[in-house]
Amino acid sequence: MRPELALIVAAALTAGCTAKDAPAEKPPATAERASTADEKPPATPEEAAPPAAPAKPGDPLDCQPIGDSAPLLEKPALLLIGEMHGTREIPAAVGELACHAAKARPVRVGLELSRADQPRIDRFLASDGSAAARDDLTGSQPWRWEFQDGRTSRAMVDLVDRLRRLKAAGRDVKVFGYDVVEFDGENSRDAGMAQHIAAARQAEPEASFIILSGNRHTQIGPEPGPPGEPPFMPMGAHLAKRFTDVVALSARSSGGQYWACVGPDPSACGPQDRPAKAYGREGVYVDTKTRPIPPGHHGVLHVGQTTISPPARAPAR
C-alpha cells in the first residue's frame, strides 16, 4: 500500500471504525483503492436532493450487454463486485448483470447498506418507484450522514429501482443490505458482513448472489496490517473460505470522475478525478485474462469512462 493511502486509511479508521458504531456523525469508513486525486469541494445540499423517479424507463427485461459475463452467470454463484463508490456506471452495470442472471434463476443482490434498513428496501421493492417511495427508501440516518463517501448515492437508488422493475416484471429478484450495525474495528466489520451474506447464501443455494461492495472488502486474501498489527481480513476472504465458487471482480474504468472521501473529515468528500487510461476494448465487459489483475481479485468489470453520482440526500446539519 502506498504511504499516502496508508495514512488515509489509518485516519479514516480512527475516525469511524475504532469503536462500536454508535449513532455517529460518520458511517464506518474504509478507503477504497483508487488513484490519488485532487480534492474538490462537496456538492451543495441542493445538488444532493432526493432523486426523482426516472422518466419513461425502458423495458425492465431488456438487459443491456455485459461482454463475456455469460460464463459467470450460467450457474448459481457468488459474484463479488468491488467498486469505487460514487459513480453512475458501476451500479448500473450491476443492475444489468442481475438482469441477465435473472433469466435463468433467482437473483439476490447484496448492497453495502445497513441491514437495519431492510424494511425500507423491502417496501421500495414492493412500491411503484415513485418519488415518495424513493424518499422513504433514503429516509434513514445513513443516507443523511455528514460523511457521505459514495455508498448512499443517487446511482445506488437507481440500482435498487432497476431491480424493483425487474421484480415487478416477474423476475425472482431480492435486494438486501449486509453492512453491520455494530462492530469493533475493521476486521470485526468485514467478518460481520461476510457472516450475513453467507447465511443468506446458505438459505438459498439455488440463487445467484451478486454482491456490490467497496473494492477493499471484495479481496479474497488478507491484506498486511501496519507493523505490529494483525492483517486485515476482507469480507471476500471470509467468503472464499466458506464457498468454492466465489468470483471477485474489481470494477475498472478508463478514467473519468467519481464521488469519494479522500480523508476522514467531511470536507474531504466530493468529486474526484481519475486519469484517462486507454484499453484495447470499448464497452462494458468482464475480463479475467488480461494482466495485471487488481490485488485479491479474479478479474475486472470494465465500465469505461465514469461519471459522478452525488449523495442521494442532503447531509443533516
Q: Give me 230's grid cell.
A: 494483525
The full set of domains in the chain, from first to last, is: 3-17+26-33+63-302 (3.40.50.11550)
Concatenate the DSSP letters of all residues of 26-76 into one string: S----PPP-------PPPPTTTTSPPPPPSS---TT-PPP-BT-HHHHSS-
Is the CB of residue 285 less than 8 Å from the CB of residue 68? yes
Task: With a cut of 70, list the residues of the chain below it in pLDDT.
Answer: 1-57, 316-317
- Give dist(CA 158, CA 164) in Å, integer: 10
Instruction: Give the model's pLDDT for residue 14.
Output: 34
Q: Give residue for cell 479522500.
A: 262
Write the DSSP symbol of residue 104.
Answer: T
- Give dist(CA 242, CA 239) in Å, integer: 5
- Give dist(CA 311, CA 259) in Å, integer: 8
Instruction: Give the model's pLDDT for residue 50.
Output: 52
Instruction: Give the model's pLDDT for residue 280.
Output: 74
pTM, whole model, 2 decimals? 0.84
Instruction: Give the model's pLDDT for residue 181.
Output: 83
- Give dist(CA 186, CA 232) in Å, integer: 7
Q: How buried is residue 204: exposed, middle or buried, by Cβ count under 10 Å (0-12/13-18/19+)?
A: middle
Strands 173-179 and 208-214: unpaired
Q: Give me 22's grid cell.
A: 454508535
Instruction: Give the model's pLDDT for residue 7.
Output: 35
Strands 173-179 and 107-114: parallel
